Structure 1
Amino acid sequence: MRFAFLLVSFFLSATFLLAEDTRLSQFQTGDDNRGFEGVGQLDIAGTGFCTGALITPQVVLTAAHCLFDKDSGTRIDHRTIRFLAGLRNGRAQSYRQVTRAVVAEGYDYSNATPTTRIRMDIALLELERPIRDTRVKPFLTDRLPMRGDNVGVVSYAHDRASAASIQEVCAVLGKQAGALVLSCEVDFGSSGAPIFQFQNGVAKIVSVVSAKAEMDGQGVSLGANLQQNLEGLASRLNAGEGQWKGQSGARSKTILSGQRSETGAKFIKP
């Protein structure tokens, strides 16, 4: 793992906070994922996947690095990406192809400084048409949480690709160079997964999963700075940016539940 060397040893209360986390549990039934149907799997040309979440009926929030080829470092054709909202056991509540995509201003996939790359690791994807299914509701976004706050994460991963999983309570351990350091459990495929803070029963997205790292021998996750990047991204998308300017990409194909691909965005970062 590229970010395994990132040690964040100066958060003294980390061990205590980690002990209070709830376990990661997979959505087994429709009742389990009720209210989270707006979280979906991003099938990337049938070669891998990330996680994303609706923030409007036609816009998905995810990690910027999901739009880059892990070997060449070049942008992939975002038109080969399909958003599978509420995917569970091979069935999506709704699905749409991506038509436009913008990444955070200044994001550089090849940047050798991990925290700089992680802080800016945000992208917005516009879908071919809005999702009007009343069960698939977009999420509100909110400010960055503070150290000691509790958050939750809903994500897909390579070993649990058939349905999303939730960790309802994990801790904000602090910030490093603007990137959030969290005790949440993540793995390959979790890139772009929404990090939620729950306020009066309402789940609001406060960050997205960018990478995982190690702190005092414990696995931690790292979240992008949503507050710093989101407004500018939305303005650029509204201004008509994000059209694909490269060569036509291959036709997208969907990975069936339980299948595993050995290439693509699933194995770029978590």
Structure 2
Amino acid sequence: MRVTFYAVALTLASPSVAGDQTSASAMRVTDLPGGSAIGRLVFGGRSMCTGALVSDDLVLTAAHCLYDPFNGRKIDTSKMKFQAGMAGGKAKAVRGVVSAKHHPEYKHRKRGKNAQLGYDVALLRLNEAIPSSAAKPVPVGGRPAKGEMLGVVSYALGHKNDPAFAYPCQVLAQQSETLVMSCEVDFGASGAPVLSFGDGQKPALVSVVSAKAAMGGRKVSVGTSLDTKTLNALMTESWASLK
């Protein structure tokens, strides 16, 4: 199946057009184990993404979030903040970022260029650990199977102060490290955790959102699969350099 990409899911922190995303289920973000570990990332007031704690001081997000969407330059980490569990405009914890590293095989492309797919994942080290009483890290799972039930939690256009939960959705196609999913997302959802709900287990982080897309006229999302190969490369190359 051919996938036509029309927008990378990166947005300004203060969008001028509202457009709330609705959930396909009565399940709420507050019902999710580890939901408070998902938060809003802000970058000097110019852009916004979503991220999730994978340890008490490491946040997983999309690699392209580390670059200014206007000039393509890497953003100074001193201008980055992670707001864990943001709801109603209030966060469970707010931390600065002291270092950031994307997947070693990720190559950034400037705005207006076709987005690179696969390896669009990065780790941010926070300036101070977030205690488990405020937010427990999200467990990381493996590559989801086609048809597996998923959910995406994101902060995006029209709901920048409260998380939206797209659920249920599923994997439609896989190609190398890239997943095409039926989960609908909006601008700002870059880096949003894709959670698997397979086998009645607690939700596990299996991908991060890279882009909005269209496939055969249908709105879909695209993400980097967090399989063993991708995780190992990220953790051995990036994680080690952040310690």
Q: TM-score range by the shorter chain?
A: 0.7 to 0.9
- The 3 A distance-change label for structure 1 pair 88 and 5 is closer
Contact 2:40–2:51 (8 Å) recurs in 1: yes
Aligned to 1:213: 213
Within 5 A, what are the aligned runs for 1:89-238?
89-110=88-109, 114=115, 117-199=116-198, 200-227=200-227, 228-238=229-239
Aligned to 2:14: none
Letter in 2 for 1:216: G
Within 5 A, what are the aligned runs for 1:38-117?
38-110=37-109, 114=115, 117=116
Aligned to 1:4: 6
Within 5 A, what are the aligned runs for 1:23-34?
23=24, 31-32=30-31
Deviations 1:207-235 (A, max 9, x none): 00000110111110001132232222222
Contact 2:104–2:237 (8 Å) recurs in 1: no
Deviations 1:224-256 (A, max 9, x none): 1322322222223443359xxxxxxxxxxxxxx
Letter in 2 for 1:65: H
Equivalent residue of 2:5, what SS? coil
Letter in 2 for 1:127: L
Deviations 1:136-167 (A, max 9, x none): 11011111111111111111112111100112
Quote the Cα distance in structure 2 between the aligned partners of 1:34 and 1:233. 25
Count, aligned residues: 223
TM-score under structure 2 length normalisation: 0.83
Q: Shift in Å at residue 129 of structure 1?
A: 1.3
Letter in 2 for 1:132: P
CA RMSD of aligned residues (A): 2.6
Quote the Cα distance in structure 2 between the aligned partners of 1:45 and 1:35. 27
Larger Rg belongs to: 1
Contact 2:177–2:230 (8 Å) recurs in 1: no
Equivalent residue of 1:3, what SS? strand
Unaligned runs of 5+ in 1: 7-20, 243-270
Q: Shift in Å at residue 32 of structure 1?
A: 4.9
Quote the Cα distance in structure 1 between the aligned partners of 2:7 and 2:86. 33
- The 3 A distance-change label for structure 1 pair 22 and 48 is closer
Equivalent residue of 1:134, what SS? coil
Letter in 2 for 1:207: S
Equivalent residue of 1:232, what SS? helix
Quote the Cα distance in structure 2 between the aligned partners of 1:208 and 1:5. 16
Deviations 1:25-50 (A, max 9, x none): 7969xx55664000000011122210
Equivalent residue of 1:4, what SS? strand
